[in-house]
Amino acid sequence: MKYDKTILITGGAGFIGSHVVRLMVTKYPNYRIVNFDKLTYAGNLKNLEDVENESNYTFVKGDICDRSKLKEVFEELEVTDVIHLAAESHVDRSIEGPMEFVMTNVVGTVNLLQQAKDSWTDGDHVFHHVSTDEVYGSLGDEGLFEETTAYDPRSPYSASKASSDHFVKAFYHTYGLPIKMSNCSNNYGSHHFPEKLIPLMINNIVHKKPLPVYGKGENIRDWLWVVDHASAIETIFHNGRIGESYNVGGLNEWTNIDLVKYLCQLMDRKLGREEGESEQLITYVKDRAGHDMRYAIDATKLENELNWRPSVTFEEGLELTVDWYLENAEWIEEITSGSYREYYESMYTNR
Ligand code: NAD
Ligand code: TYD
């Protein structure tokens, strides 16, 4: 079959990437979807078991830092578009070791940009770069991140993503590469690696382990269901303007401590535990170095220009997420049985 587009989705085996791949494979049989992923600790092909046999889906194991592999894939599969999600994504890991973040997030992104520029000499193409609101830095009590907010990254992770964003824009301005960009708030949902706040807390509540809240738990994050992020990417990829960036978020701010308490109440109900039982597991631990205080997104441009809206409330999305983890205990058990234990011990023992 001749496909209308061949879209290379990098990082398609990760948390958000697997949701984007699933959406694109099932909704667009006229597109060939190529999942290009290095399969780091965060990549898991089990996330895509339900679509792996679809005829318009192909998996290629590869590193975006490997230019010759990218060239081979672009030429052999005639890649027409890119949705770029591959990244090192965890702030705490970036504090322990920033270089891996520079390699994948900066060097890997520039490699991919160069390959797209060299391969796409004519025709219609889109290079959609998926980024984070953390590039804007940390907010005080007031205000929201807008697309025009000056970049002020403060963690090694956000510094590497900010750098990649600048390169993406530079390739648009300098070489005319047809880029689009999105900067999203914190995601939650199924298939989320349990190093991040929500899946880590769900897993620890299930196992009655301490719930490590950094500092006083007063830091604020703006949470969006991953399926809604995937639909925003789909919308921007198709209808966003070339050269533009779009903020993605759901106006849904929570302090970490309120969120953890809400999760405890929800899970006490689901697990048939006594009211208040899980909250007793909350343990305040040493704060993260350089911990950004507050993130909050203004997604008006995306809503007004492209008519995108989140499809669920936070309460609905969180319930769906908790149900998924309770119904898929083997998914998280497999992940947490190996090197995760070493990671967890080095990060949380005596913290
Ligand atoms: P993740 O860590 O769950 O997945 C990253 C994926 O990239 C994994 O499958 C991994 O194997 C792959 N990968 C890593 N290095 C690679 C390399 N060198 N070559 C090829 N593949 C490689 O991350 P995520 O949470 O799904 O985030 C995806 C993207 O969305 C990232 O760019 C991240 O910055 C961005 N983002 C994430 C959030 C969030 O809340 N998680 C919010 C906004 C933006
Ligand atoms: P995280 O999920 O790592 O996302 P990000 O740092 O990219 O926002 O963390 C979300 C918030 O939760 C952040 O303020 C740090 C805090 N946090 C904890 O309090 N305890 C934990 O064990 C983790 C992983 C995060």
What structural domains and CATH numbers belong to the chain? 5-185+226-248 (3.40.50.720), 197-220+253-295+313-348 (3.90.25.10)
Give 48: exposed, middle or buried? Use CB within 10 Å, 0-12, 13-18, 19+: buried
pLDDT at 157: 98
- Tell me if residue 334 is catalytic: no
Count each helix (H run) and each strand (E run) in the chain, helices first. 13, 12
96 is catalytic: no
| Catalytic residue (one of 133, 165, 222, 228) | 133
Q: Whose CA is nearest to atom 21 of ligand 2?
A: 197
Catalytic residue from among 134, 195, 222, 298: 134
Closest listed ligand to the CA of 92: 2
pLDDT in tens, the chain (351 residues): 799 999 999 999 999 999 999 999 999 999 999 999 999 999 999 999 999 999 999 999 999 999 999 999 999 999 999 999 999 999 999 999 999 999 999 999 999 999 999 999 999 999 999 999 999 999 999 999 999 999 999 999 999 999 999 999 999 999 999 999 999 999 999 999 999 999 999 999 999 999 999 999 999 999 999 999 999 999 999 999 999 999 999 899 999 999 999 999 999 999 999 999 999 999 999 999 999 999 999 999 999 999 999 999 999 999 999 999 999 999 999 888 878 888 888 899 888
Which residue among the candidates 57, 157, 246, 295 is catalytic per the annotation? 157
Structure-token pair, residue 127: 């290079």
Q: Please report the atom of ligand 1 found closest to the CA of residue 84.
A: 32
List Cα–Cα distances, 331 to 130, 328, 345, in angstroms: 26, 6, 20
- pLDDT value of residue 211: 98
Taking the model in full, what pTM does it have? 0.98
Whole-number pLDDT of residue 351: 81
Q: Distance, CA 319 to ligand 2 centroid (Å)? A: 20
* pLDDT value for 350: 81
219 Cα nearest atom in ligand 2: 14
